[in-house]
Structure 1
Amino acid sequence: MGEKLLTVRQAAELLQLSPLTIRAWIRRGKLRAVYLGSDAAGYRVPASEIERIIHGRDGGETQVQKEGACA
């Protein structure tokens, strides 16, 4: 079973930030995300990324991963 993925809105609520900030962090590589292949579907943020940010485990810049791509 895979890791739980959150919508941008859910991630923003958990981090008490704007969805625009979450998207900017994804573009800058501050927050790892999976792109679901269309603008309508958008991005999903792994729950572990929220934990990493909350607990200050910022290991540096991360990359956006395309769905189905190997890491």
Structure 2
Amino acid sequence: MRTWYDTGAATVECPACTTAVAVPDWAWDEAPLAFGCLGFEFWNWPDLTDAFRARLTGLLDGHRTAYLWGKL
């Protein structure tokens, strides 16, 4: 994504066939381009437990997750 954002051109390798495809040429359910980042922000909460994070990851149907601690 950074390369595409910085230069206007980048490729992504298809996980199914390993063919490199230009980012704008990817098809996402009839949408010409789709990228997203879902984030949750918890203020004044105790530290999130490993069990909570695992459960949340499970609810997201296998999508990759990243845990960031602290303020960004």
TM range (shorter): under 0.3
**Which has the bigger relative contact order, CA under 8 A and spacing at least 6?**
1
Greater Rg by CA:
2
Higher helix share: 1
